[in-house]
Amino acid sequence: MDATSLYRATVVAGAFCLATPAFAQEVADRIYSGGPILTIDDARPTVEAVAVKDGRILALGTHEEIAVHRGDTTDAYDLNGRTLMPGFVDSHGHVVMGGLQALSANLLAPPDGSVTDIASLQNTLRQWADAHADTLESVKMIIGFGYDNAQLEELRHPTREELDAVSTEYPIMIVHQSGHLGVANSKALEMASIDATSKDPAGGVIQRGADGEPNGVLEEYAFFTTIVPLLSTLGSEGIEAFAEAGAELWASYGYTTAQDGRSSAGIVEALKAIDVEGALPIDVIAYPDVLEAKDYIEANVSRDYTGHVRVGGCKLTIDGSPQGFTALRDRPYFDPVGDYPPGYAGYAAVTRAQVQEAINWCYERGIQVITHANGEGASDILIAALTSAQTQYGDPGNRPVLIHGQFLRQDQVASYQQLNVFPSLFPMHTFYWGDWHREHTVGPVNAENISPTGWVRERGMRFGSHHDAPVALPDSMRILDATVTRRTRSGDILGPSQRVDVMTALKAMTIWPAWQQFEEAEKGSLEPGKIADFVILSDNPTAVDPETLDQLQVLTTIKNGTVIYEAPVDRGWVRAEMPPMASAPDTADQLLHAINAGFFRQTAH
């Protein structure tokens, strides 16, 4: 029995003899009480108090049961009516690229930003450049994140010429909210060696104007193999700045465990470096790209953390963005906006042979594989590959994960259940792009069943509910609201039969993603011996009107028993003795120096 298991066994055994003098000697470092405490443990869903010692849960129960753990050195933490529950576990996100979101011009549409048309996008970029004029003079790049053509008045992507109107002196790169597309101005295209003679890469498209010249829009592997690798070649200081900013952003929304869902060797090493420096406040599970980093994955995959970092397995990406019309469907898109041929159904980013080889490699080694498959066509490819691998290798107990599954058929849900696949779904799409899906991607009938959490629960399957940040902010309360209500931006309820209750939605953000990542014995619920990872909310999500879930606030995030985040506005609740999380990095200096360290140093030619 390892040390962790021994500790858990000790405290669990002690929980049955709370009143004995011997166990009374176990004095808690801190006791939380004074508000609702949700355990996410069906055996005991709520308790009055929780005792913590050495960063783990010592005991929980009634005030009387916990009183035996109070000593002269115990800190009594009064929740003052607020709600304590397990810290959120990230079912799927990109914490390092989330740092890019945190440190660049905010091109998101309301309610997360103010960009509503191309003019406001241009103005936001100009304002960002003006605010960073001092460092921009030496670093020479403008970057923005989060524009969404579906939310622009023009219902199209900006062009290189419209970005040139912001600046021809500096290269400009803006990243689509999906993370699967981007737009570059003429200067950036020149530095990336993209011109009229450039050929589309496999699994990607360089969009062009009527004259054959690139219009600035780069899709999928045209984006990944030109712009994104340039960012991934940042110097260590730059990558570390992104990683630190992303981790702090996750912590501010109550996440105590994050995922880096399409990682690389360099990014994992950067995460380890900032953790050694004490600048990584939460745990991060990385999944490097299986097509690019097999050797690194095989050498580093582990169920155990090095500090706050571990490699959990492999990431595979089959298709692209449903709202960007690059996801692979099994039928034509309903009414795609743009220059698409009749019967257009999207495309795969990789070949069937690549998918099968990657899945086989993971199964042969018993390594977990998480696979991005948005469209029905992509799921057909994944199901076939998983079926073949399980026939050849059996089930190694590697808990394969479907990432997104925006457009699924009921027979595919049944196949995933048979193959023991954990679905990590994206109900936030119902809010951000539900109206767009109804009107343009799949039509009014099939839009009712995007992110089909109802179908999954009918079969008794666990699922995870994720944010995919930086596709959206890692806003835990927005996830909770969307999973329960499925309200769109316009106020419509998209697929009422796919809604789930609040407790189910909370499990999909805590204990079920902990299970997804082989951490259910340590995280995801409040039980004796588990890690003291908590979030404190402004109210009880199981008691408020479900239509107000998105108004709940994350007030405090606690990792291993230590406060790592407190809301800067206390909203009437002050805990002055609690240390705040380290201040956010200097956004201008760290982002711009990161870009200077790698992006254009690698492309100057």
pLDDT tens-place string over residues 380-435: 999 999 999 999 999 999 999 999 999 999 999 999 999 999 999 999 999 999 99
- Comparing 98-107, 251-260, 321-330, the range with the smallest average pLDDT is 98-107
325 and 228 in one domain?
Answer: no
- Comparing 335-339, 461-465, 512-516, the range with the smallest average pLDDT is 335-339
Q: Is the pLDDT of residue 138 over 70?
A: no
Interatomic CA distance for residues 270 and 237, integer angstroms: 8
| Higher-pLDDT residue of 132, 63 | 63
3-class secondary-structure state, position 86 = strand
471 and 326 in one domain?
Answer: yes
In this structure, the number of other CB atoms found within 10 A of the CB of residue 486 comes to 26
Residue 171 covered by a domain = yes
| Higher-pLDDT residue of 318, 141 | 318
Residue 427 covered by a domain = yes
486 and 358 in one domain?
Answer: yes
In this structure, the number of other CB atoms found within 10 A of the CB of residue 7 comes to 16
CATH (domain of 229): 3.10.310.70
- According to the model, what pLDDT value does residue 25 have? 57
Nearest-Å Rg of the Cα atoms of the chain is 24
Q: Could you tell me if 170 and 142 are in contact, meaning their C-beta atoms sit under 8 angstroms apart?
A: yes
Q: What's the one-letter identity of residue 470?
A: P
3-class secondary-structure state, position 283 = strand
Q: In 486-553, at which residue ranges do the beta strands (DSSP E only) sit? A: 534-537
Burial class (CB in 10 A: 0-12, 13-18, 19+), 281: buried
Interatomic CA distance for residues 530 and 4, integer angstroms: 9
Q: Could you tell me if 186 and 222 are in contact, meaning their C-beta atoms sit under 8 angstroms apart?
A: no
Task: Give the mean model confidence (pLDDT) for residues 5-11.
Answer: 47
Q: Which of 233, 260, 285 is the last residue of a domain?
A: 233
- According to the model, what pLDDT value does residue 235 have? 58
Residue 60 covered by a domain = no
- Comparing 94-98, 282-286, 482-486, the range with the smallest average pLDDT is 94-98
Q: What percentage of the chain carries pLDDT values higher than 90?
A: 72
Backbone angles phi, psi at 424, to 5 degrees: -100, 105
326 and 200 in one domain?
Answer: no
- According to the model, what pLDDT value does residue 477 have? 98
Counting every residue written for the chain, the total comes to 605
Place of tokens 């029995």: 1
Interatomic CA distance for residues 8 and 186, integer angstroms: 59
Residue 512 covered by a domain = no
Q: Which of 470, 500, 530 is the last residue of a domain?
A: 500
Burial class (CB in 10 A: 0-12, 13-18, 19+), 169: exposed
Q: Is the pLDDT of residue 256 over 80?
A: yes
- According to the model, what pLDDT value does residue 79 have? 98
Residue 604 covered by a domain = no
Q: Which of 500, 519, 546 is the last residue of a domain?
A: 500
In this structure, the number of other CB atoms found within 10 A of the CB of residue 417 comes to 15
452-496 confidence digits (pLDDT tens): 999 999 999 999 999 999 888 899 999 999 999 999 999 999 999
Helix, strand, coil fractions of the chain, as percent rounded to 5:
35, 20, 45
Burial class (CB in 10 A: 0-12, 13-18, 19+), 292: middle
Q: Is the pLDDT of residue 545 over 70?
A: yes
- Categorize the per-residue pLDDT at 171 as very low, low, confident or very high, splitting at 50, 70 and 90: confident
| Beta strands at 283-288 and 172-176: parallel, antiparallel or unpaired | unpaired
328 and 456 in one domain?
Answer: yes
Residue 460 covered by a domain = yes
- According to the model, what pLDDT value does residue 226 have? 62
289-320 confidence digits (pLDDT tens): 999 999 999 999 999 999 999 999 999 999 99
Interatomic CA distance for residues 339 and 598, integer angstroms: 35
CATH (domain of 464): 3.20.20.140
- According to the model, what pLDDT value does residue 142 have? 85
Interatomic CA distance for residues 515 and 423, integer angstroms: 12
397 and 494 in one domain?
Answer: yes
Phi-psi region of 279 (alpha: psi -120 to 50; beta: other; left: phi over 0): alpha
229 and 134 in one domain?
Answer: yes
- Categorize the per-residue pLDDT at 515 as very low, low, confident or very high, splitting at 50, 70 and 90: very high
**Residue 342 neighbours by CB under 8 Å, 6+ apart:** 332
Number of domain units in the chain: 2
**H helical segments located in 43-177:** 63-67, 95-103, 118-131, 133-139, 160-164
200 and 341 in one domain?
Answer: no
470 and 354 in one domain?
Answer: yes
What range does the domain containing 215 cover?
95-233
Q: Is the pLDDT of residue 288 over 90?
A: yes
Q: Is the pLDDT of residue 604 over 50?
A: no
C-alpha atoms less than 13 angstroms from C-alpha of 329 in its C-beta half-sphere: 21
215 and 115 in one domain?
Answer: yes
- Categorize the per-residue pLDDT at 248 as very low, low, confident or very high, splitting at 50, 70 and 90: very high
Q: In 164-274, at which residue ranges do the beta strands (DSSP E only) sit? A: 172-176, 181-184, 204-208, 214-219, 255-263
- According to the model, what pLDDT value does residue 227 have? 60
C-alpha atoms less than 13 angstroms from C-alpha of 112 in its C-beta half-sphere: 25
367 and 221 in one domain?
Answer: no
Place of tokens 């019309």: 325
16-75 confidence digits (pLDDT tens): 333 333 344 599 999 999 999 999 999 999 999 999 999 999 999 999 999 999 999 999
- Comparing 66-70, 321-325, 575-579, the range with the smallest average pLDDT is 575-579
Compute the mean pLDDT over every residue in the chain, rounded to the nearest whole number: 88
Backbone angles phi, psi at 2, to 5 degrees: -80, 175
Residue 347 covered by a domain = yes
- According to the model, what pLDDT value does residue 447 have? 97
Helix (H) or strand (E) holding 10, with range, is helix 3-15
Interatomic CA distance for residues 211 and 418, integer angstroms: 51
| Beta strands at 30-38 and 75-78: parallel, antiparallel or unpaired | parallel
Residue 191 covered by a domain = yes
Q: In 3-61, at which residue ranges do the beta strands (DSSP E only) sit? A: 30-38, 46-53, 56-61
Q: Is the pLDDT of residue 85 over 90?
A: yes
Query: Smallest Cα–Cα separation from 178: which of 239, 262, 236, 235?
Result: 262
pTM: 0.82
Interatomic CA distance for residues 131 and 147, integer angstroms: 20
- Comparing 47-61, 189-203, 516-530, 587-601, the range with the smallest average pLDDT is 587-601
- Comparing 195-204, 309-318, 347-356, the range with the smallest average pLDDT is 195-204
425 and 326 in one domain?
Answer: yes
Q: Could you tell me if 595 and 290 are in contact, meaning their C-beta atoms sit under 8 angstroms apart?
A: no
